[in-house]
Amino acid sequence: MVWKNAIKTKKLKPGKTKMVTLGIKTLMIGQFEDEYFATEGLCRHMRWPLAWGGKIKDGCIRCPLHQTTHHIDDGSLVEWSPFPLLPAYGKILGKLSKPKDLKVYQTRVEGDYIQVQLDQS
Ligand code: FES
């Protein structure tokens, strides 16, 4: 396990998220209730970049495309492709891939940076 600099703390505003690329991984870094968090950056449903319009509410990240929702503390799945505008369509789209949890990463602040713990060297 190694800690990698992900983004400078001053570049991340409270309640906002950013996409970050570390090696071959794309991550979403964010701040929720004074805590930083990091998850894999692409929605588990159809790989939409979650920081591009994803909403954080009640401790969850909701993808803007079909509203798949995961807890940001442990990545557990809350709702898979409900797509409230057209639920029948969302159900069909939901079957295009298996429901999955979102990978989450440990974070810490070191100097000016938010660091993320990765399982690669
Ligand atoms: S791509 Fe995110 S919910 Fe479909």
pLDDT tens, residue order, the chain (121 aa): 899 999 999 999 888 899 999 999 999 999 988 899 999 999 999 999 999 999 999 999 999 999 999 999 999 999 999 999 999 999 999 999 999 999 999 999 999 999 999 986 5
Alpha-carbon distances of 56 from 45, 50, 86, 98, 107, rounded to whole Å = 17, 10, 22, 23, 18
Which residue range forms the structural domain that includes residue 110? Answer: 2-118
Q: Which residue has the tokens 């992900």?
A: 6
CATH number, domain with residue 52 = 2.102.10.10
Residue 42 beta carbon below 6 angstroms from any ligand 1 atom: no
Half-sphere exposure of 65 (CA within 13 A, CB side): 17
Residue 69 beta carbon below 6 angstroms from any ligand 1 atom: no
**Overall domain count for the chain:** 1
Overall pTM surpassing 0.85 (yes/no) = yes
Residue 45 beta carbon below 6 angstroms from any ligand 1 atom: yes
Where does 4-111 have alpha helices with state H?
87-94
